[in-house]
């Protein structure tokens, strides 16, 4: 049975549109004046070597908890007290946010928009982590008609209200939307409200975006 094409692509930001902080350790080290190889936590790229990541995956701590701990650790390496993730992100990549956007994301977003489909972002901490000025530094975000950010709504994925706020704002049925996120708990939240979903694999972004594009009849070039 052939399913009708989706109408909107709804993306998480961190990890899906932007590269993860794990992938940009070298950039972070250079920005902070740290020796190459100083940052060793690998997250999903080698979970066995990152106990804190494993705790997050077991829901013993939240994703925000994970990043607040990593931010504090990194700040101490340069003799600073970083109490929030925003300081970490801005110092590590805030000056050149375009440099950490996945090329696969840029290509997929352009293809979806140019084909006449709709685009939205559903993030738990876009401005919380990146700062209010971040959006003005990233022209790519102008492609999105809706950015729902729990920094302001206070409703975190996987709360069902986070997803329904997006579908209602777009005036679409959940099944018309394809939601893409790298955290399984958030994918399960989307599934629970009836959205189509793609569990994004940060170790294979091209394959994940190909799966997302398939819902729009957009085969890979």
CATH number at residue 190: 3.40.50.1000
User: Is 2 inside any structural domain?
Assistant: no
Let me know whether 204 and 134 are in one domain: yes
- CB-CB contact of 7 with 117 (8 Å): yes
Let me know whether 138 and 55 are in one domain: no
Give SS3 for 178: strand
Let me know whether 121 and 14 are in one domain: yes
Residues of the domain holding 205: 8-18+101-214
User: Is 207 inside any structural domain?
Assistant: yes
pLDDT per position in the chain (221 positions), as tens?
467 999 999 999 999 999 999 999 999 999 999 999 999 999 999 999 999 999 999 999 988 899 999 999 999 999 999 988 888 988 887 567 788 899 999 999 999 999 999 999 999 989 888 888 888 888 999 999 999 999 999 999 999 999 999 999 999 999 999 999 999 999 999 999 999 999 999 999 999 999 999 999 997 64
User: Is 220 inside any structural domain?
Assistant: no
Q: Which two tokens stand for residue 26?
A: 């070298």
Let me know whether 125 and 202 are in one domain: yes
Let me know whether 131 and 196 are in one domain: yes
User: Is 3 inside any structural domain?
Assistant: no
Can you give the pLDDT at residue 220? 62
Counting other chains too, the contacts that 16-19 makes at CB distance below 8 Å and 24 or more residues apart are 16/102, 16/105, 16/180, 16/181, 16/182, 16/200, 17/101, 17/102, 17/105, 17/109, 17/121, 17/140, 18/97, 18/100, 18/101, 18/102, 18/105, 19/100, 19/101, 19/102
User: Is 219 inside any structural domain?
Assistant: no
Let me know whether 110 and 90 are in one domain: no
Can you give the pLDDT at residue 2? 62
Let me know whether 167 and 108 are in one domain: yes
Count how many domains the chain has: 2
DSSP assignments along 127-174, one per residue? HHHH-TTGGGG-GGGGG-SEEEEHHHH---TTSHHHHHHHHHHHT--G
Among candidate residues 79, 97, 115, the one where a domain is terminated: 97
Let me know whether 58 and 112 are in one domain: no
Separation of alpha carbons 131 and 147, rounded Å: 14
Let me know whether 206 and 134 are in one domain: yes
Let me know whether 67 and 125 are in one domain: no
Let me know whether 140 and 209 are in one domain: yes
- Evaluated on CA atoms 73, 55, 16, 179, the torsion sign reads negative
Among candidate residues 44, 62, 97, the one where a domain is terminated: 97
Separation of alpha carbons 47 and 85, rounded Å: 21
User: Is 210 inside any structural domain?
Assistant: yes
Can you give the pLDDT at residue 1? 47
Among candidate residues 61, 79, 97, the one where a domain is terminated: 97
């Amino acid at each position: 049975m052939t399913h009708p094409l989706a109408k909107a692509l709804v993306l998480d930001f961190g990890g899906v549109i932007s590269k993860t902080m794990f992938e940009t350790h070298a950039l972070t080290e250079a920005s902070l004046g740290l020796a190459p190889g100083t940052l060793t936590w690998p997250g999903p790229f080698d979970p066995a070597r990152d106990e804190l990541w494993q705790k997050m995956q077991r829901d013993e701590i939240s994703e925000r908890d994970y990043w607040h701990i990593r931010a504090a650790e990194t700040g101490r390496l340069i003799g600073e007290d970083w109490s929030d993730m925003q300081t970490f992100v801005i110092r590590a990549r805030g000056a050149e946010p375009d440099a950490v956007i996945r090329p696969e994301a840029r290509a997929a977003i352009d293809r979806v928009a140019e084909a006449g489909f709709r685009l939205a972002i559903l993030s738990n901490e876009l401005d919380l982590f990146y700062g209010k000025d971040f959006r003005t530094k990233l022209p790519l975000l102008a492609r999105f008609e809706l950015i729902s950010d729990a920094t302001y709504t206070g409703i975190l994925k996987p709360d069902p209200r986070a997803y329904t706020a997006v579908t209602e704002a777009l005036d679409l049925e959940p099944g018309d939307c394809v939601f893409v996120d790298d955290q399984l708990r958030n994918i399960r939240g989307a599934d629970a409200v009836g959205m189509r979903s793609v569990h994004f694999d940060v170790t294979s972004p091209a394959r994940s975006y190909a799966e997302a594009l398939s819902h729009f009849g957009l085969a890979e070039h």
